[in-house]
């Protein structure tokens, strides 16, 4: 880890703070509109809702797999939207994600 990256490492109990997050795939048509929330460190949070409401888009913005159009995403006081290159890759290694279509356990056959 480079010295610059070490400065960006959040503490183990870090909070996630999202402020006025907006994501547009097509200009003027927001998928996420003014999303603000705080998730305290060492907590469990569920994001639920009907299909097509932006849950996956929100999670992909947090990990910067897609770029937010506007707003801030802070993890342990680090602005994730400001990170680039090796600093961004180092931070992504500290954020766990399980994707919708990811098979965690192979299909089991009958006993």
38 part of a folded domain: yes
pLDDT at 5 over 90: no
Return the SS3 of 30: strand
75 part of a folded domain: yes
pLDDT score at 41: 82
> In the structure encoding, which two tokens stand for residue 83, read together?
């990170």
pLDDT score at 12: 55
Neighbours of 65 (CB within 10 A): 13
Q: What is the pTM of this model?
A: 0.74
Specify the number of domains making up the chain: 1
Torsions phi, psi for 53 (to 5 deg): -95, 0
CATH of the domain at 81: 3.40.50.300
Return the SS3 of 5: helix
65 part of a folded domain: yes
106 part of a folded domain: no
pLDDT tens-place string over residues 18-61: 999 999 999 999 999 999 999 988 878 888 889 889 999 999 99
Full residue range of the structural domain in which residue 70 is found: 3-7+14-92
pLDDT tens-place string over residues 78-109: 999 999 999 999 988 888 777 666 665 666 56
């Amino acid at each position: 880890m480079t010295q610059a990256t070490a400065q960006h490492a959040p503490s183990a109990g870090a909070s996630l703070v999202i402020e006025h997050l907006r994501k547009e795939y097509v200009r003027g048509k927001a998928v996420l509109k003014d999303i603000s929330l705080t998730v305290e460190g060492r907590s469990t949070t569920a994001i639920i809702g009907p299909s097509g409401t932006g849950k996956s888009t929100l999670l992909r913005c947090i990990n910067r797999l897609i770029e937010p159009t506007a707003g801030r995403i802070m993890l342990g006081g680090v602005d994730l939207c400001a990170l680039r290159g090796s600093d961004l890759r180092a931070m992504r290694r500290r954020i766990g994600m399980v994707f919708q279509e990811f098979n965690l356990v192979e299909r089991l056959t009958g006993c």
